[in-house]
Amino acid sequence: MFLSALSLVVQTGLMLFAAPFFRGWVERLAGRLAGQTRYLASGRWQEIRHQFVRPGFHEPGDHLSGLAARAAFVLAVLGAGLVPVYALVPSGFPAPGLLLVCGVLVGASLLLSLPRVVLRGQAALGGYMAFMADALLLPSLVPVLVMVGGQDLSAFLAHVRGLSPLGAGAPFVLMGVALFGAAAWRGTSVGAAQACPLSGADRGVWLLAEDIVQLCWVTLAGDVAWAGCLALPTDGGVEPWLMACLQGGGAWLLKLVIAALLLAGMQLMVLPPARRARVRLACVFLLGLLAWQAAYPGLATPTAQDKTAAIQVQDPAFGAEGITQ
């Protein structure tokens, strides 16, 4: 239990450190695909550090926006600790459900959209569209949430861990793609920076929280689509579990590489904010519905199957022999 708690602390710190590098890498890849010159992947971290040291210029309404950015950062850090990265928690360890994890990430996204809503004129349109899209994202994830049911996320991923992605685990790959769509359509087109009226340390917190939320969505989607690489604590000892954690960390980096390529390619799609929000919600809902329909026969609980069998045994059409069986 102590090692698992320590692992969660390490995981949270790793997510906080890697989030700006991942965003900078995606922006650099998108710029290369578009034929534009971009900063190095570390440029995102340099921008965030620069915002923390520069003085802030506050206007009316910036105080409330700053509070929203800091609250979003707290929720983003909480989400970074709830999303599995390289290992699952042992049996009996308190683990969140998928609804709680998605609710925390959606709440952080809504708080991040508030500073953009207070802008004036045409600049606030993107903020309103992002706010409405994030507000409707949780209802669009209903088919995905139904697949997990009341299970803890670690228990669900432990069940999916032994399924082949090309066999019985294929519906859960679709489920991971639906979760990935929740993060993919939050980005902007190449060269179009997200408007944020904050400055100074508040803007640095806003940028860091935005990067953490995106990395949490990408990591959650990768864990659901390919859970076989997650380390599962066993009674075999600490050393095998640590080696499995290292392998899971390497697989996490591989999933981030694939996700960065996909996100960079999707940024080349130029769509108006309203249409991008509609496409995002429709894709998430349809993919989740398809995954739920494909996985529904395998999600039937043994208790429901036993009740069905008992009803068939009590049917008079079976006769005395059927009742004895």
**The pLDDT of residue 62:** 66
> Tens digits of per-residue pLDDT, 134-151?
888 889 999 889 888 878
Q: Tell me which residues of the chain have a pLDDT lower than 50.
A: 189-192, 302-325
> Tens digits of per-residue pLDDT, 267-312?
777 777 777 778 888 888 988 898 888 877 766 554 444 444 444 4
CA distances 152 to 99, 110, 157, 224, Å, are 9, 25, 9, 13
Alpha-carbon distance of 172 to 168, in angstroms, equals 8
Contacts 24+ apart (CB under 8 A), 165-168: 165/225, 165/226, 165/228, 168/298
User: Which of 30, 23, 74 lies closest to 47 in space, CA to CA?
Assistant: 23
Residue labelled with tokens 């009996």: 92
Beta bridge partners of 87: 231
Cβ-based neighbours of 188, under 8 Å, separated by 6 or more: 194, 267
| CB burial readout 64-74, b (16+ within 10 A) else e | ebbebbebbbe
Alpha-carbon distance of 139 to 88, in angstroms, equals 27
